A and B are shown apart, each in its own frame.
Chain A
Amino acid sequence: MIDDKVLNSILYMSKLKVSGEEKENFRKQIEEILSYFKVLTSVDTENVESAAGEGVSIEDLRVDEIKDSFPLAIIKTFAADFQDGYFPVPRILGDGSGGEYK
């Protein structure tokens, strides 16, 4: 049901690795869960909306007024790494508009 191609592509999206011996167990568990989801197919959803709930009017949204941001000292209290005011990451190229993971 879940072939290697699908498994690997979803793991890639998830940014997770499942190593060799765990892989089969992982696949089995996922397949079991997915097949349980079939219970939904018995429900007729023809022309049913997937309503996102009630809407909110513009007046109830946030007024465009500036509030204080974090002082740099606060960022240092929770940052995993903070160098000269920046969050460092392994060198990357491009603007990151998706998918450039070479």
Chain B
Amino acid sequence: MKYEVVIGCEVHVQLLTKTKAFCSCENRFGGIPNTRVCPVCLGLPGALPVVNQKMIEDAVLAGLALNCKVAAVTRFDRKNYMYPDLPKGYQISQYDMPVCTGGKLDIETEGGKKSIRIIRLHMEEDAGKNLHLEDGSGLSYVDFNRCGTPLLEIVSEPDMRSPLEAVSYVQGIREIMKYLGISDCNMEEGSLRCDANINLWIYEDDKRYETPISEVKNMNSFKAMRNALKYEIKRQLAEWQEKHLSLMNTGKVTRGYNDKTGETVVQREKEEEADYRYFPEPDLKPIVITKNLVAETGRRVGELPAAKRKRFVSQYGLRKGSASVLAASKALSDYFEAAAKGYGEPVKIASWIITEVGGYLNTEGLTIEEFSLPPENITRLMEIVDSGIISSKIAKKVFARMAGSGESPDTIVKKLKLNQITDRDKLEEFVAVVMKENPQSVADFRKGKDHAIKFLMGRIMMLSKGRANPQVSAAILKEKLNNG
């Protein structure tokens, strides 16, 4: 049987603003239940929402990065439904005047590059969390800490033709949001959530039949997403063969994915579909977004990870793996490029940044944005290694001190006397060469002219470019002269 898979995605991304969407409570994951709540996010009588500036800015930034058109005027609406985790009995969302519309995201597929069209991007507030304890009380428990967290909802056209494409699309969204630093997109923690609408176009008797659309929820990882969608394809095919149900007569069903069984189960039939009674949020005025802001924000978007990755490979000769790591974050890629500037071997710099800088940040629990070491210091350190002054092993020590203290690599090398050669074998080599090249002075010394040792020491220093440790060298020299 000939068929085509049709998938569209609704992606929810939690923003990393300091405060919630409509109140000044801290926006952070987890914590003691109900400790980040106030009259607004608890839906007390008389409380009013106050829009977070940063949420609008982030939405515009995200929209531009997804090639969307930004609205000149955007408005919030109320989506009405009652549930315990929704304290006001409505969610402040956007309906007919979303902040962004009409974008696209390019993904890589087996058949090459493909554009997924984005219908809209809008802002809304997250709900609280219902906790289900098996405590025999017959109760669920509500925590409103998450309530009011700003979300972006990104809705795609049904342009994806396989679970793999759907996963690539969501990964692409994730990459961009993380790159822009507006979300950490952690699927396990729920800061990125994806619902997929999937059905099949079945070609039979020269006709196209569309199977009922399933909206699949509860996909908490990319693996779960792949499996859930694969399962849906199988299930819909089987259902078609058995019942010949089509979209026309059945409509849309909401199904939840169960990670344990690997199956999707019906959550809601079409006739139960809620009527959300959207209307403009009267507590908030429409928001005007100036051309200026759009232009300014557009400049902030700059080159996105996918393009950057490609450029890093072609311009610097990086491997795909390294390029991906560096291009995933704007700050990290900027750091790399600044360090690589004017240095002949970017591949070395890249691997240094990935391993050493990355390792350091990891141990210290810092982000690259919080890392204060100027990238030029990395460049300089590499140069010192290249000139043979210190080994790359020593360079790691220098880096550790440099990252903590902020001193320049030259200062550290000098302070720790890392540039002196103390290695006995190496110094013996110098002594041997100098003695061989200056037989007269050797002879003079042996005749009792002590001052000849000064001349020979001078030669050793010249030969070692001043890096030979004088005490150790002198001792070796004396030893060799006396043993002659």
Contacts and interface: CB of A to CB of B under 8 A. Distances in A.
Interface of A: 9, 13, 15, 52-59, 61-67, 69-70, 72, 75, 78, 83-100
A72 B34 CA distance: 7
Contact of A64 (B17, B73, B256): B17
Given A92-B140, A99-B268, A55 B19 contact: no
Contacts of B272: 99
Contact of B24 (A58, A65, A84): A65
A78 to B, nearest CB: 8
A89 B18 contact: no
Nearest to A63: B53
B18 A66 contact: yes
B216 to A, nearest CB: 13
B273 interface: yes
A18 B19 CA distance: 42
Contacts of B286: 52-56
Residue of B25, B38, B139, B217 with highest tally of chain A CB at under 10 A? B139
Contacts of A13: 80, 275, 277
Contacts of A59: 53
A94 B140 contact: no
A96 B33 CA distance: 18
B53 A89 contact: no
SS class of chain B's interface: helix, strand, loop or mixed? Answer: loop
B142 interface: yes
Interface stretch (B1-9, B165-173, B288-296): B288-296
16 contacts: A58-B289, A61-B53, A63-B53, A64-B19, A64-B54, A69-B26, A70-B37, A72-B34, A75-B37, A85-B143, A89-B142, A91-B132, A92-B84, A94-B267, A96-B83, A96-B85
A91 B35 contact: no
A97 B218 CA distance: 11
Interface residues of B, number: 62
Interface of B: 17-19, 24-26, 32-38, 42, 44, 50-54, 56-57, 73, 75, 80-86, 127, 130-132, 137-144, 217-218, 256, 267-268, 272-277, 280, 285-290, 293
Of listed B17, B130, B132, residue having the most chain A CB within 10 A: B130
A93 B274 CA distance: 17
A76 B75 CA distance: 35
B38 A89 contact: no
Contacts of B35: 69-70, 72, 85
B452 to A, nearest CB: 76
Given A86-B142, A100-B267, A93 B81 contact: no
A56 B81 contact: no
A56 B44 CA distance: 25
A93 B141 contact: no
A99 B81 contact: yes
A78 B131 CA distance: 21
